[in-house]
Structure 1
């Protein structure tokens, strides 16, 4: 069956996360030898290479946001080329500058359409139905994850819930307070704090940035699963 293939460029460890979390569905990642491609029905109504590339860029962003909930160090790949595979296995590859090359290849991997959605796919679909959680997920996918961004994500989550995360049963009051006070205190959060020196007393056991990332990731996942 003819289809679009979008070849991704990144370190192998990053590429493997897309194969792991998006193995099937409307858009999925597949590995062929050392290469990883995006493909799926979402591209098949598109006839223009530029439109396929644009859609792939957009989809790659949200896929990265979802997968990075499980591996925060994930780096978004770039698009190496767009390929059109014909029914007979012939492939025409289109580079960024519209150069093309025709090659012969056959897919060796089979796709099991009965695969259950992964956690990343499930959370992404839930986020698409909840505007504030989708914003929170998109913010999570951006780098760097510093205190102001993490604080903003928590605000979006709580706006969605209509209540503080601790009152909603997602964490303890002490944990939320520890995060809030650390983020607000310049003595701890430094130049990325939300307020000036001396405005708030630092907590006795401030969070590290790594702990804060883990906390916000957990809050976002919990809010999505409750959506």
Structure 2
């Protein structure tokens, strides 16, 4: 199959596509540590709740709950889709390039640049498509006004662009290794710590009883629980399925 030129597809939008410049000089080791950790922390601190969504719970369940831990995605926040579009766009386009469906010579700097820009553009398009699938499926509530739909698009797509730029900062040589890998590793490590030591109290039944998110904290708190025996608290710490437990 004849391929098509990347230049014809990406070149017209290059002037408006946000991009991180390659550093003009070698970045010191200490600075790379700062850049890598800073990008990860900024990503973590971007988990702001979405504005413009229905406050009452909807009947539409989270369709990607089983993928959220892998792709550093938090439901109904700016990081709704995490880094999934960035990873999938890179995999899909590399596969198309390998099958010669897209003509690209990675030995040529210009082609390599255009391929990276196309990957970024495809990721942004995926953020837009996913945002509207979630919006019109009723995940954020039904009967949303046009203004609410616009605000949700701006938030989700804008956060997606921001996430791609954070990853690009590391990829362009300011940090270590892959930007996606660095961000994902930090998010997974943070979630792991929260699942063990998290002290956030979460309502678990209609009677108003709460339990901490962290499995170890739940075990310790269970020894002074008034609504169950010590043995029941220990068993609950190991087998509860609605929050992290000591065996999962």
Same fold (TM over 0.5): no
Provide TM-score, normalisation by structure 2. 0.22
Which one has the largest radius of gyration?
A: 2
Which has more helix, going by share of residues? 2
Provide TM-score, normalisation by structure 1. 0.23
